[in-house]
Structure 1
Amino acid sequence: MNRPGITRMLLGIGAASVLALTACSQGSSSDSPAASAAPSAAGSASTTVPPAFAGGEVRIALVRQLSQGDYFQQWLAGAQRQADALGVTLDVSSADGNNAQQPINLQQAINNDVDAIIVDHGFEDTVAPAIGEAVAADIPVVAFDVDAGSSVSEIVSLGQSDKEIASQALGVLETDTGGTAKVVYVYVAGYAPLDKRNAVWEQFKKDNPGIEQVAQIGVVNTSTAAATAEQAKAALQANPDATAIFAPYDEFAKGAVQAINELGLQDKVKVYGADISTADIGVITAPNSPWVATSATDPANVGAIAVRAAALKVAGLPVDASIEVSPALITQKDLRDRKITNIAGLASAFPSLTTPDIARIPWLS
């Protein structure tokens, strides 16, 4: 088992063999045929593969707070494909929303002497101490949508531009409503991306006095959409003058849609969400769907970036300490007019969603 320091030392020795991969392996949308491109037996003409990667000896632990939901499943799929393209073993664990379990999983990854760790979501007070232990043990860490506390300067912080995500969705809400609406808001505090989106929502209300929050709901668990649907139904029944739901996470948005459909309010109440998946596209484009806009990155692309960033750290190569992936505004009209039915089609229509140049691996062709 190569530790990170040993791997960096080996870089100066030169590689025993060279591995070439298709350009698409650096970052592809989750449903794209090119995303599953396999390594070639030919040599790279440009950069020698670090020995540990050429020998298939690198292990990266992916320690997740949640795994349920379309977004998280597609994120994992992108991460796994990138790991396969690199010849990396990806050890995946999930706390399934149990915040006491995630630091245990993180500690186990440290004890297993992995080459790098990716922390996917989590609360600062539960994961930051263990992230600090990983840093002290010289294990490279990539933290996605996690506040890592005092260890933040020692790790790669990866995130989506949550400010843009919330601002883009709320921009459509403002346009659709003329800046006057009674809104049900879905939010759970403590999750870094939701907290950042919440800050935008709070400022949006200040800037738009005609926007009134009539209720706040929210739950995150292994059945978030279903639980959100029950809460949204109660909120809409208690506030019959509500005309919009701001749900800045796709499981929230799907729950809101379910509630609206069950109450027969599709022509009255609209949903403004965040995130995207193939299943989400189906919900947005369904006949008479109330979900009219979302702002999102391609989750598979972000998962691939996380693996590439970790691989660069293992190889001792430069990688930005802070990486932020910009979203695209995606409306129901866009999807219907362009007949987009899945993430592959979305990536073709919105090429900015695929970012192979972020944390590019130099030994991949």
Structure 2
Amino acid sequence: MKKTSFKWVGLSVLLIFTLALSACGIKKEPAASPASGSAGETPKTEAVTGPLSGKRVALIMEFNTGTFSQQYVQGVKEEIAKFGGELTTFVADNDKAKMVSLLDSAINQKFDVILTDHGDSLLEPGVKKAVEQKIPVVVFDAAISVPGATVLSQDDQKMAELTLEQMKKDINGKGNIVKVWVAGFAPMERRQIAYGAFLKDNPEIKEIATFGSAQNPALDTQAKMEAILKQYPKGEITAVWAAWDEFAKGAARAIQQAGRDEIKVYGIDMSDEDLQMIQDPKNPWVASAAVDPTDIGRVQVRYAYQKLHGDQTEDAVVLNPVYVQREALPDKQISTSELSEYVKGWGGSTQGIKDWMSEYGITAK
């Protein structure tokens, strides 16, 4: 009887520990070999050997909402797989304080590498602590300034400018527009700078409504856009400018369902789901400016491994966006992995690649 009791106690403790990890948004997964398909595929595992193989990598995400995030994570997984590492993801579910706690947890667990996705300056003490402990840190899309940590970002102002200027051209420089965005996120704050300058330079373009929420962004946007469409009947809204693709999805769905085909949507960021909507001639979402999200993940990992290798790395790395519009795309449905055939500059970034990485099958060719 005693032996049986101890067995059940042990199983109970294991179950409680497993549930606790799940509740904290922690997901541990073995390294996977690169895949050329969609983010939903599970690549096969391959053994990788080399002086940098076997490293434990923590990815700490503020949120993992939408297909952009899924493809970004896929890029992280693929590149870590090439180096033979092991990835553990920590998701804060849009809770910045929780993200700080997860960062501290990763430091205390002595991960070999720490990557962060979004967040804000609240992360700075933790990032500084990690750097002081010689843990390589590469930040994506957060306004953080810590010597020794590399901050990776998209050229957010340029993305905003690309979409706003095309919108201006399409509406002949005048009209009423709706803006969807949310404060408190470094990339959207940067996009807002370009938006503010644009409105100042184009007084005949009027903002008549603005809203946005990071919680369930696509659904929230759709509901609020439906209300705005009722408030402003046909002819009173010319276009919608969305500072994030999740916002663009919601706005486009509301407009399409309402049959308001006079309104066009312009967004930022790109995923396979976004591309499918933009290619649909009946969809109001006609264009977006973006960096390949899979590339973002790959480049972030490369800079982390540069640090592990002892290379000198830049404090700031900026990824150049491209403009994707329906007119440039084929009639047949394509994925973002095929987008480079139609949009110059999309995908296949060689940023962060060093000659020594050829040992791991990573080359600029």
TM range, normalised to the smaller chain? 0.7 to 0.9
Runs of at least 5 residues in structure 1 that lack an aligned partner in the other structure: 1-23, 44-48
Select which of 126, 136, 140 maps to 1:140: 136
SS of the residue 2:88 aligns to: strand
Counterpart mapping for 1:47-196 below 5 A: 49=50, 51=51, 53=52, 56-124=53-121, 126-149=122-145, 151=146, 153-196=147-190
The change in CA–CA distance for 1:104 and 1:40 in structure 2 (over 3 A counts) is closer
Runs of 4+ in 1 over 3 A off after TM superposition: 28-32, 35-41
Q: TM-score, normalised by structure 1?
A: 0.83
Q: Distance in 2 between matches of 1:207 and 1:336?
A: 34
- Residue 174 of structure 1 aligns with an amino acid whose one-letter code is K
The answer as to whether partners of 1:340 and 1:346 remain within 8 angstroms in 2 is no
Q: Match of 1:245?
A: 240
Residue identity over aligned pairs, in percent, reads: 31
Q: Does residue 344 of the first structure (1) align with residue 344 of the second (2)?
A: no
> How much has 1:36 moved relative to structure 2?
6.5
Q: Distance in 1 between matches of 2:153 and 2:87?
A: 20
Q: Does residue 270 of the first structure (1) align with residue 267 of the second (2)?
A: no
The change in CA–CA distance for 1:272 and 1:326 in structure 2 (over 3 A counts) is same
Q: Match of 1:308?
A: 302
Q: 1:259-313 CA deviation, whole Å, 9 max, x = no partner?
A: 1022211x21110001111111111122411001100110001111011111111
SS of the residue 2:96 aligns to: coil
> How much has 1:348 moved relative to structure 2?
2.9
- Residue 93 of structure 1 aligns with an amino acid whose one-letter code is F
The change in CA–CA distance for 1:157 and 1:67 in structure 2 (over 3 A counts) is same
- Residue 71 of structure 1 aligns with an amino acid whose one-letter code is F
> How much has 1:189 moved relative to structure 2?
0.5
Counterpart mapping for 1:174-323 below 5 A: 174-221=168-215, 223-240=216-233, 241-265=236-260, 267-323=261-317
Q: Distance in 1 between matches of 2:330 and 2:139?
A: 35
Q: Match of 2:21?
A: none
> How much has 1:29 moved relative to structure 2?
6.8
SS of the residue 1:352 aligns to: coil
The answer as to whether partners of 1:29 and 1:298 remain within 8 angstroms in 2 is no
The answer as to whether partners of 1:319 and 1:359 remain within 8 angstroms in 2 is no
The answer as to whether partners of 1:95 and 1:105 remain within 8 angstroms in 2 is yes
The answer as to whether partners of 2:162 and 2:289 remain within 8 angstroms in 1 is yes
The answer as to whether partners of 1:29 and 1:347 remain within 8 angstroms in 2 is no
> How much has 1:89 moved relative to structure 2?
1.1
- Residue 127 of structure 1 aligns with an amino acid whose one-letter code is L
Q: Distance in 2 between matches of 1:74 and 1:318?
A: 28
Q: 1:311-342 CA deviation, whole Å, 9 max, x = no partner?
A: 111111133221111111000111245x4521
The answer as to whether partners of 1:30 and 1:74 remain within 8 angstroms in 2 is no
Aligned residue pairs, count: 322
- Residue 77 of structure 1 aligns with an amino acid whose one-letter code is Q
The answer as to whether partners of 1:217 and 1:232 remain within 8 angstroms in 2 is no
The answer as to whether partners of 2:276 and 2:333 remain within 8 angstroms in 1 is no
- Residue 96 of structure 1 aligns with an amino acid whose one-letter code is D
Counterpart mapping for 1:23-34 below 5 A: 31=38
Two-structure CA RMSD over aligned residues (Å): 2.2
- Residue 253 of structure 1 aligns with an amino acid whose one-letter code is A
Q: Match of 2:9?
A: none
